[in-house]
Amino acid sequence: MKDLITAEEVKTRIEGMIAPAIVDVRDAEELEGGFIEGSIHIPMAELEAKITEVLPNKQREVILYCARGRRSAMAMEMLDNMGYTNVKSMVGGYEEYKNTL
């Protein structure tokens, strides 16, 4: 299994301008509760079809998140199977990320 990343580490990377691609795999209606600024929204159901168009560089660091971490962990496996080599799933999802603000 690929690496997991904490919400605090995600916040630090964003602030440090390390420039990972941050992908929100939640459904559109879930965005009403907030999202990570600068993240790319690709719902889980559309991820496999759209990810290579949005992020063609399979070596770029990609951080996935959802509401609590379950879907992003599944998405991480999907991207791993598609040949992405630097993918992480944010532990606790957006719910945990909000606690770092």
Active site residues: 66
DSSP-based three-state secondary structure for 3? coil
Q: Whats the size of the chain, residue-wise?
A: 101
Q: Are 68 and 95 in contact (CB under 8 A)?
A: yes
What does the alpha-carbon distance between residue 70 and residue 33 come to, in Å, rounded to a whole number?
18
